[in-house]
Structure 1
């Protein structure tokens, strides 16, 4: 069998076997919100970055909305049902480099992809290429919106918080208000039931309503162009898993959410068998840098560090003869 076909076949088998164990970081979120303009672009939907992001998420079954358009009622009531899809641009003179990261209602990053790189010269295609490579990780997630998880995200409307105010706190507020009122004596007993803050009329609207008005007003702006059929996607679509090799071994690097796992596809070393898990890569706070548990050629495992270089090669530090050496794996494209 052709070596490339072997790699693709093994990739499919591994993904179907392990996809159910991937961490589904996006299950609590019902909506993906796409900004109409990213900071690194000069105008809305430049190079079709925004509309292509929407297209990618919709293709994977996510419910998407442009930021500021008519939000559904449940999203207006609970903004934490939505997660904002952001793009970070770290491009150099000759290479387009982007990340996709998702922010929740508290501006906390809940998911971040690895870098997607492209050297396509056409600006209308290079971002499409790079975003496709980023999106490989998101495609590997077995997304299934879970309302039960959404309830545990910590969001509470202000009205509910006021209603749950303890009676002693409400009574204290009532007592303090009588002291400020000159018509009521300090020694006069306050008669009648204590009225809690939740029962009293409020002149201030709930913040969610303010957000709703702001979202509706933004409709006056020029809408983003209708979705197009992206023929370029066929040209730049990424493989289901990334493959790497050196002189003696080839393996597939499969995304499992919070970590990556390396499975042998071909080997000239009898200590590494096809299909064997030889490495687990745990993400760190630094982009493209990982803590690795790597199988030694002879016996045991080595806890070490790995990183991707500018060319996309995977470099792993190993201890040999008392010195740190680097073994390099070239990505198979």
Structure 2
């Protein structure tokens, strides 16, 4: 049995949407029941893919990943609860819960509740560890450094814009003793080869930082706020943007976000750090 004290150092438990031994997500409401039972016995349970709290986004090692282990039996349904840390190491396995019910819904529910009796006996209560506190402090320092870097980039961009405005004004001939100021255009419209569809290219401001998630990355700003979630494809450096009819791909040294808006093909150039 795993040490109760060590288990208390974890603040969250992430519950999967689907178990490997079942065909559908939340089949027989088994995943929802798992979330309910973890919350009942003191944990903060999070469904996989939901909006995670900021502290677990900054430090994934605050959360354990849960799973159910099914033991094949002739006349019994047997389930055990397994918990893994952020390094995919098993840190706790409950006692095997059992049920003799023949109907699947009742059998899985009864076996899972029986397995949670050993978790209830732990008397879990979250106690932050020294390591987690250090990790949060390091994250705060990193965020501060990122904010400084972003501020420097913003200042550089503003300086470049001013220089560009001055250069354009100098090229325009004055009329009747006045200087006509030419506005700086940040978007350039060009024709796509062999088509009549205009493409609008825009340079997106700010740096986005890529954080690995399942099947891809989430791109966060300095807040940190999740701006995009991108999923891998079979083509290198080409991603699908979750929740948006858009693609992200690398061209030379630039990352291009391509999408349609009002029947106009647009391309945003993103500054991404992996």
In structure 1, the residue corresponding to 2:52 is in which secondary structure?
Answer: coil
Of 67, 71, 81, which aligns to 2:52? 71
**TM-fit CA distance, 1:154:** 7.4
Q: Using a 3 Å threshold, how does the CA distance of structure 1 residues 206 and 29 change in structure 2: closer, same or farther?
A: same
Matching of residue 108 in structure 1 with residue 53 in structure 2? no
In structure 2, the residue corresponding to 1:39 is in which secondary structure?
Answer: coil
Q: In structure 2, what is the equivalent of residue 15 of structure 1? A: none
Q: In structure 2, what is the equivalent of residue 151 of structure 1? A: 132
Of 207, 214, 217, which aligns to 2:211? 207
Gaps of 5+ in 2: 146-206, 219-225, 232-240, 245-274
Q: In structure 2, what is the equivalent of residue 28 of structure 1? A: 9
Q: In structure 1, what is the equivalent of residue 43 of structure 2? A: 62
Q: Using a 3 Å threshold, how does the CA distance of structure 1 residues 139 and 208 change in structure 2: closer, same or farther?
A: same
Q: In structure 2, what is the equivalent of residue 82 of structure 1? A: 63
Q: Using a 3 Å threshold, how does the CA distance of structure 1 residues 94 and 78 change in structure 2: closer, same or farther?
A: same
Q: Distance in 2 between matches of 1:207 and 1:64?
A: 22
CA contact (8 A) 1:86 1:100 kept: yes
Of 34, 40, 49, which aligns to 2:30? 49
Greater RCO structure (CA 8 Å; 6+ sep): 1
Q: In structure 1, what is the equivalent of residue 98 of structure 2? A: 117
In structure 1, the residue corresponding to 2:25 is in which secondary structure?
Answer: coil
Q: Distance in 1 between matches of 2:68 and 2:18?
A: 10
Gaps of 5+ in 1: 1-21, 164-202, 221-333
Q: Using a 3 Å threshold, how does the CA distance of structure 1 residues 79 and 109 change in structure 2: closer, same or farther?
A: same
Matching of residue 97 in structure 1 with residue 99 in structure 2? no
How many residues are paired up?
A: 160
**TM-fit CA distance, 1:103:** 0.9
**TM-fit CA distance, 1:150:** 5.1
Question: What TM-score, normalized by structure 1, do the two folds share?
Answer: 0.42
Q: In structure 2, what is the equivalent of residue 282 of structure 1? A: none
Q: Using a 3 Å threshold, how does the CA distance of structure 1 residues 154 and 113 change in structure 2: closer, same or farther?
A: farther
Q: Distance in 2 between matches of 1:60 and 1:214?
A: 32
Q: Distance in 1 between matches of 2:111 and 2:36?
A: 15
**TM-fit CA distance, 1:219:** 7.8
Q: Distance in 2 between matches of 1:153 and 1:100?
A: 30
Q: Distance in 1 between matches of 2:113 and 2:26?
A: 17
Q: Using a 3 Å threshold, how does the CA distance of structure 1 residues 150 and 86 change in structure 2: closer, same or farther?
A: farther
Q: Using a 3 Å threshold, how does the CA distance of structure 1 residues 47 and 150 change in structure 2: closer, same or farther?
A: farther
In structure 2, the residue corresponding to 1:110 is in which secondary structure?
Answer: strand
CA contact (8 A) 1:68 1:219 kept: no
Q: Distance in 1 between matches of 2:49 and 2:99?
A: 31
**TM-fit CA distance, 1:94:** 2.2
